[in-house]
Structures are given as C-alpha cells and as structure tokens.
Structure 1
C-alpha cells in the first residue's frame, strides 16, 4: 500500500510527493527545493509556499521558513504545462464496479507525463467518469490505439494487475506494414523471439543477439496487397516496443513508425499519419467471478488492405 496523499485528485491529476532529506546544507525545505528544481524561478516557488500550496503528510501548509528536517515528505500539485490538444476521444466500451475498458485513440498517452497531462487517457477518464481512484492496470504506447483497462477500486486492483504480471491475459494486436520487395506469405504463421534490452536514457530498445530470448510473438497474416501487409500479433511476453521491434526485424516495419527500424528526428504529431498498430482484443478469466471475459476494439487501421 502506497503512502496516501493528503491532497485530493484535482482536475483528474493526483498531487506529487517529494522526498526531502532530513539533514543537509539547506536551512529550509524551501531552500532545498529551490536547488532541487534549479530550472524554476525561485521567487515563484517561494510564492507557492506563501499560498499554502506545499503541504506536509497531515495536509498542513508549510512556509518558506519551515526548517529542513521538519518533514521527510511534502506534497504539491505540479503546475500544468501548456498543452497542445489531441483531437481524438477515448471511447468507454465497458464499465462495472471494478473495471473500465476503453478504446484509446492514437497519440493519446495512457498516463500524464512530460507535456501531456490533461491530454492523457487517465486524466480524461477521471474527469469524465468522476472516479478519482481510477488507475490503469496496464499501458499502451502513446502511438498505439486500442483496448486499455482501468481499475476503479483499490480493493480489487491487485487481483487484475496479477493477471498481467502472470501473463494470464491473452492479448491480440493488429498491424499494417509496407510489403517487402521479396515477400513470402508461406513463411507465416511464425513465432519470432529475441532478447530486448531497454537502456536508460535511450528512447529505442536494443536487441542483444547473444542472449537467450526474453520476448516472443506469434505473427499471422490477415491480408496483403501489392503495397501493404496486415498482420495479427499474439505476444506471449510484454517487453517495451516488442511488436514494433519484431516486425521491423522481419522487414515488416509498421507504417508511420518513427522509431523502428530507423529512429527518425523528433517532429510534431501528424494526426493524419497514425502508427498502424492496434490493441484488438483482451481475453482473461475474471479473478473475482471466475468467468471468461472478452473485450474487442471498435477501431480499425485505416491502411489495412481488404481481407481476401
């Protein structure tokens, strides 16, 4: 159980907790925070203390003169960034006492981070549904669309999280790739495996050919034409960017992927060119009812070739 916040969720966003050293060269907590957040205007930070916006574990406001060592943790709301709106909506497919299942659009992150706070699936849903305890049970990349599942209650959240940790959720994805020059449809279905490594500070994962595989995907072909290939993907593991890496390794890099097989320079979102990757299906035995549950996306990949 995490340390409860003394501040409520506000506008769909929880307060941030900061660990403060109990001893050190700083005379006050404010002095430590000024050095810790050196990129911020010091006077603006002190003004937040004066307004009572930085609080202790019991919710009491700290002052700019509160000495270092008075509190080990403080809470505050991050000042929201100026956000570019993402003009696509989250669609709620299912809601009950314990679960919310949605169709996430391309470009929308699962959780707040960086330059996206209000423009995240979690914050939008907390505001839409009025459930401040809403928490994602798993995540999708910002570029990926499709099924995303949230817990509504802390009391049952762990049971659903264990399903994903123990690989008891069968996940199915779809992707559309450019057709390689030498395309051999007879090679599919196939199981692809490799060892994926995520290095700190790098946006792309790396493949270590000398180590035992830690990722596995069953890949089937749904349809193909003279330009594109539409695949069905059943990951057995859940490594970061796994499906994008596996298809790229087979010469089937996903259309509009700026990461694989080649990392392209960062550019503004082009809403007319979404990554052609979709979380299509979630299937599992509910840990509370012991009944099988199946959820299917209503979204489609725009560039998929017609089925045969």
Structure 2
C-alpha cells in the first residue's frame, strides 16, 4: 500500500518505498512499480511527473490529469520545485557544508551508471550540509539544484563519501554500513498549478 500524504482533484503527493520502480520496466518481472500500485489503489488516472531511483525512498508528486501533468512537468523543467534529501554517507566530511558542481553523463559501457565528464557531461550542482556525525558515517541534508540521473549518488562519491548501501558507487565499507541505499527524498515545495498557492510537504527519514 502506497502512503498518500496529500490528495486533491489535480494531484497526489506520495511516499515511494525504497526498492520499488517509479514506472514499469521492460519484462514481466519489472511491472510492479509505484504507478501500478497507485492504479490498484483506485487512482486510475495517475501520471508520473518525475522519478526516484529504484533504491531511493521518499516524496513524489503525481498528476491526476493531463493539464496538471503538463503544468507540473514545466515546474520541474524550470527548476521551480524545491527538493531536499537526507543521506547517510560513509566516513566523516572535513567541512560542515559545501557545494559539488561536477558535470555528469551516462557511462554507456556500464549503464545505468553515471560518471563525471568535463567535456561531454551536463551541468549538475548539489548543495550539502552536515546534520550529524558519528564514528562511521555522516548524516547530510542534500539540495540538488539540477536533477541529473544518479546526481546525488555520484556527487557524494566524488566528494569521497559515497552514500551508505549504494550498490553502484559505494566502497565495501559504505556497502557494509546499510542493507539499503540511505537516500530519502524528505521534502517537496512547489506552486499548486490550479490554486497558485505555495504548498510544501515533509516525509520523515526512515533510517
């Protein structure tokens, strides 16, 4: 059962569990996804606006009609949606906050992995801030300025502190610290396409 934290005539805001596709993949074994589960819960008109990685949990906004889908898609394209994530990363960062501005592209020989590429990569910027530290890992607040595939995961790896449990980018220590990817989309804020009101949502971090 997908937890719906907001519902009106135009859109839903939901919490995607980790290890669940946002949309169906290829093959019969990849049909279970967020959208299919929402349809099973009675939201037949649910339309995907943006995605979270299979391993990432947290907030997603879902359109319930084509007009809202177009309006929300424009908000994301124009970077008018404020998003923040919580992450646990391996080790302890030297500084308390910072910015990673490293261009990314797909690593075609190792898809779906992404890599930093200064010649062909697309601009990608992530702001980060320490929330807490302990012996093995650091809890960070991440605010992506852009929305590239695997952006937060690659940027944390580039920083030298891969996200705990990241089967694509973490070193053995980071993998050993958690059985799941410790990345959670904790907040969303945007202007409602119909009312024009600024709305914001929060989801408690599960790790």
1:258 corresponds to 2:170: no
- 3-state DSSP of counterpart to 1:107: coil
Task: Report the counterpart of residue 281 of structure 1 in structure 2.
Answer: 187
- 3-state DSSP of counterpart to 2:30: coil
Distance, in Å, in 1 between the alignment partners of 2:101 and 2:18 is 26
- Aligned pairs for 1:212-291 within 5 A: 214-261=123-170, 273-291=179-197
Query: How much has 1:261 moved relative to structure 2?
Result: 4.4
Query: How much has 1:92 moved relative to structure 2?
Result: 0.9
- 3-state DSSP of counterpart to 2:43: coil
Task: Report the counterpart of residue 120 of structure 1 in structure 2.
Answer: 33
Query: How much has 1:131 moved relative to structure 2?
Result: 2.7
* Contact 1:193-1:213 at 8 Å conserved across structures: no
Query: How much has 1:157 moved relative to structure 2?
Result: 1.7
Distance, in Å, in 2 between the alignment partners of 1:299 and 1:173 is 9
**Structure 2: 5+ residue stretches without partners:** 173-177
Where relative contact order (Cα < 8 A, 6+ residues apart) is larger, the structure is: 2
Query: How much has 1:212 moved relative to structure 2?
Result: 7.5
Distance, in Å, in 2 between the alignment partners of 1:262 and 1:298 is 27
* Contact 1:103-1:298 at 8 Å conserved across structures: no
* Contact 1:177-1:229 at 8 Å conserved across structures: yes
Distance, in Å, in 1 between the alignment partners of 2:58 and 2:19 is 11
TM-score normalized by structure 2? 0.89
Give the number of the structure whose residues are more often strand, by fraction: 2
Task: Report the counterpart of residue 175 of structure 2 in structure 1.
Answer: none
- 3-state DSSP of counterpart to 2:76: helix
Count of aligned pairs between the two proteins = 199
- Aligned pairs for 1:150-165 within 5 A: 150-165=62-77
Task: Report the counterpart of residue 51 of structure 2 in structure 1.
Answer: 139
1:300 corresponds to 2:202: no
- Aligned pairs for 1:71-110 within 5 A: 89-110=1-22
- 3-state DSSP of counterpart to 1:282: strand
What CA RMSD, in Å, does the superposition of the two structures yield over aligned residues?
Answer: 1.9
* Contact 1:169-1:283 at 8 Å conserved across structures: yes
- 3-state DSSP of counterpart to 2:200: strand
